[in-house]
Every structure is written in C-alpha cells, then in structure tokens.
Amino acid sequence: MFSRRSALSLLAGTGAALTLGAAPAASARPAGHPPFGRYGSPARRLDARTLYVDPEGRGDHTGVQSAVDAATGTGHTLVLAPGVYRGTVTVPAARTGLTLIGASGDPRDTVIVHGNAAGTPKPDGSGTYGTSGSATTTVQAADFTARDLTFANDWLRADHPGYTGTQAVAIKVMGDRSAFHRCRFLGHQDTLYADSPSLTAFARQYYRDCYLEGDVDFVFGRATAVYDRCHFRTLTRTDLASAPYGFVFAPSTARANPHGFLVVRSRVTSTAPDAYYKLARPWVPSSDLTAHPMLTVRDSHLGAGIDAAAPYGTMSAGFPWQEQRFAEYRNTGPGARVTVPGDRPRLSRSQARSHTPAQWLGDWRPYA
C-alpha cells in the first residue's frame, strides 16, 4: 500500500487521487501538452501581473515561494504548471490580491506539500516549529484566491512514534476575503487552520467544491468561514484501537464574532469504521479563554463514520460543548440521525434564515 508521501512523490504530471493509500493513475494529458494550458506562457503572457511557475524550468520560476517573492505589489496571478512543489510557502500581508491557479484545472495535478509537524525540531536548534510553524502554506494577505490546487502536509505519525507534537498543518489562512475553489487539503491532525490575523480581526473565508481530509480537529480556527459544497473525509488510524479516532471541526470563534464556521450543502464520509468520529469539539485556546466557538452544519449529508449518538465532544473540561454555539439544520445520512435530542442542537426554520453564506460574508460575495 502506498503511504501518503510515496503517493505524493509520484504525482507530478498525473491525475492521481491523493487520499491515503491511493496509487497514482497514469496521466491523461498527452505528451507535449502546454504546461500552463489556457493561461498563456512567459512568451504569451496574459498580462504584466501574471507569473508562471514550473518545476521543469519552463516558467518564470521553478518554485512557488520565489514567485510569491517576485510578485511585489498587489493583484498578481501565479499560474502553476502540474507538478509537486515541495517546500513551505508564505504569502505575506503585503501581497494583497494574490491569486494562485493550478494550470490543468484538476487540483490533483498540482501539489504544494511539505512535511513539518509541531514537534519537528528547527534546523537552527531554537526549538520546535509549533502548530502554526508546521504549516506548509501560510497566507497572511487579504483578498487571496486559490483555484484547482492541492495543499498538503505529508508528515506521518508512523514515521515519528516518539513525537508528542503531532499537529501538521497543510495551510494556515489568516487574510480577510480568502477564497478557495476546487482545492484539496490533505493532512492528518490540523490539516486546515482557518484563522485570522488577531483576536479582534474577523477574517472571512470561503471554500467552494473543496476536498478536505484528516483525523484530529482537521478543520479548526477562529475565522468566519463558509464551506459550500465541500467533501470532508475522515481517515482510518492504525495507532488507535478504539473510538473516537478524532474530530472533523474544532472552531475557536472569538466571543465578539457573530459568525464562526458554516458548513452548507456538503458531505462527510469516512474510511474508518462506523461511528468512530465526532463531528466537532470546541477549541478554547490559551490565548483567548473568552472564545465562544461557533459551528453550524446544515443541508449536508453526514455519513456513518460520524457518531450519531454522541456527535460532539469537549476538548477542555471547563468549556463543555453544550455551552458553545453549535447547531445543525436539515442534515441527512446515518451520522445525522437524532437518537438523543439534547445532544443534537438544531435550528428552527426561522433561525436557519440567518445561517447563510450571505449573512456570514456580508458585502463580500465570492459565491455569486
């Protein structure tokens, strides 16, 4: 069976599925296919603010970070040719309006990946990376857009049995008005860190037609985030003998923020045994003990992997999930079955009218 790392290492130029254990399929692209597809090339540049990235040297840059560094100012577009781009990427706050596009239109073809965990020692000996420092990609800029890309962290617990800091972030997103369309987010613990620049900044994020996988709290943070028509996949764990294997969501919404995570028209599936996953637990971080985590899951299909009898858990004893802002509305599937009504907080029809992408995102309409 392929490990995540071996599958990723063989991905360049393929349309392989990136879920754990999937072997890459043969490329469907014909030989000699232009690396940047319909997006031009350095010789036929769409405009002066478009830069081309290709690991084989046919673009302006061979690495994503060097292209980000070169895209000074605002409003640049980076077109990435298919391939595996190994290394960390940081989009600083000054790169407002940056867009990253996977040229093939298939997110499985273009992968940004690295393999640090929270407990990984830094090369300079100054300690370990910590959760935020483990991120393969960090987006600090506002008005960031990504399309048709995979963001991954291929660090594996099995390779490091002595580690206690097993958080391994694929991407940390902090900027307001950050949008991801048809992207994939691969990892295990803490895959997608949907955050904001500060406790008082309510960063809005939108994820449409995206695929996200992991095990422990693999979608977490304090952002105002909408997940629209997304697919969440919980993974099998070989290091645990019993349930629960983990949690899909761990919001840490600031108390002053009226909008946390909103999941709409989405689905949750699993490679693990039935009922081995919880839907969510609240995260109240030590940096904000006043946090009041918020999650609404509505009009979505919850597969059998979700524990319908006890779908929520508590991370810290002083902050039980029952006191947080968790709610569901009109979900379907075996994981949405109501067995104990008190354990499935549900919105009324009138309440549900205010739990929509329009209410969450205000004057920003990335879904229009």
Contact indicator for 187, 223 with CB cutoff of 8 Å: no
Question: Which SS3 state, helix, strand or coil, does residue 61 take?
Answer: strand
Cβ(169)–Cβ(153) below 8 Å: yes
Catalytic residue among 106, 154, 176, 190: 190
* Residue among 106, 217, 228, 307 flagged as catalytic: 217
Identify the CA nearest to 78 among candidates 149, 5, 127. 149
- Is 217 annotated as catalytic? yes
φ, ψ at 67 (rounded to 5°):
-70, -40
157 three-state secondary structure: helix
User: Which residue in the block uniquely carries the two structure tokens 């949750």?
Assistant: 268
Q: Tell me the one-letter amino acid at 50.
A: T
Quick check: is 190 catalytic? Answer: yes
- Asked, as a colleague might, if the bond just before 244 is cis with ω within 30 of 0, I would say yes
337-345's contacts with Cβ under 8 Å and 24+ in sequence apart are 337/308, 338/308, 339/308, 339/309, 340/309, 340/310, 343/309, 343/310, 343/311, 343/312, 344/311
In terms of DSSP H, where are the helices of 45-108?
Answer: 64-70
The residues assigned a catalytic role are 190, 217
